Amino acid sequence: MRHVERLVSIACDCGASGEAPIGALIECECGRSFTAEGPPAEHVAAIAALERRHLVLQIVSLVALIGLCALPLVVLDRSAALLVPVAAIAVWFATVRPHLQRRHRQAISALPDWLVAG
């Protein structure tokens, strides 16, 4: 996974504004200096939990769908043993995954813009 440097918007009391990487020491035109801080740790943790939940839901739904489709193979006919998992994955990509993606986007859009930007 590649590291993406996140920028935060900064504004000085003198009216100057801009963007800087988190943790950078900023010196304003007016002479003030400060450190650019990122979002609070609890906000970062909330976003990480939301991302983990989304990933777990995707994995569980895929495994459950494959399991439900493969269950009749155990009881009835084993001749379609290769076709059923492929069909289950196709159904998951066509129906379940878009639904989960839509729910995830709605959850993300409910967060403040400054929290999820970048």
pLDDT value at residue 2: 47
User: Rounded to an integer, what distance in angstroms lies between the CA atom of residue 73 and that of residue 60?
Assistant: 20
Find out whether 114 and 11 touch, Cβ atoms under 8 Å: no
pLDDT value at residue 57: 93
Which residues in the chain come in under a pLDDT of 50? 1-3, 118
List the structure tokens of 118.
């970048």
Reported pTM: 0.58
pLDDT value at residue 117: 54
List the structure tokens of 47.
């976003």
pLDDT value at residue 98: 94
Residue 16's identity, in one-letter code, is A
The answer for residues whose C-beta is within 8 angstroms of residue 110's C-beta and 6 or more apart is none
List the structure tokens of 56.
């777990």
CA distances from residue 91 to 65, 70, 95, 102, 107 in whole angstroms, order as listed: 9, 13, 6, 16, 24
